[in-house]
């Protein structure tokens, strides 16, 4: 399984940052993830308006990592 691993910081307190995992469909490859990450990141940002994404990566993860 591929996931987007993103680091986000609170807009109101940039010193508070957390890592988040966004699991993707099992059929999505790392290359597809990298090509389409902006869509997933935009959706995550809309759902979490108090957070600002500062970095991200696509990588394989196991079920217990999510």
Q: Tens of pLDDT along 48-64?
A: 999 999 999 999 987 66
Return the HEC string of 5-32.
EEEEEECCCCCCEEEEEEECCCCCCHHH
Using an 8 Å Cβ cutoff, are 28 and 35 in contact? no
The model scores a pTM over 0.85:
no
CA-based nearest residue to 55, from 17, 2, 16: 17
Average pLDDT, the chain: 92
Q: Are 16 and 31 in contact (CB under 8 A)?
A: no
pLDDT at 65 over 70: no
Q: Give the pLDDT mean for 31-60.
A: 95
Q: Give me the residue spans of the domains in the chain.
A: 2-61
Q: In this predicted structure, what is the pLDDT of residue 13?
A: 96
DSSP state of 16: -
User: 14, 63 in Cβ contact below 8 A?
Assistant: no
């Amino acid at each position: 399984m591929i996931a987007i691993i993103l680091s986000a910081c609170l807009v109101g307190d940039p010193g508070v940052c957390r890592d988040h995992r966004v699991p993707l469909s099992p059929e999505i490859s790392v290359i597809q993830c990298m090509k389409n990450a902006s869509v997933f990141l935009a959706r995550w940002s809309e759902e979490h308006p108090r957070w600002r994404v500062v970095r991200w990566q696509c990588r394989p993860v196991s079920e217990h990592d999510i």
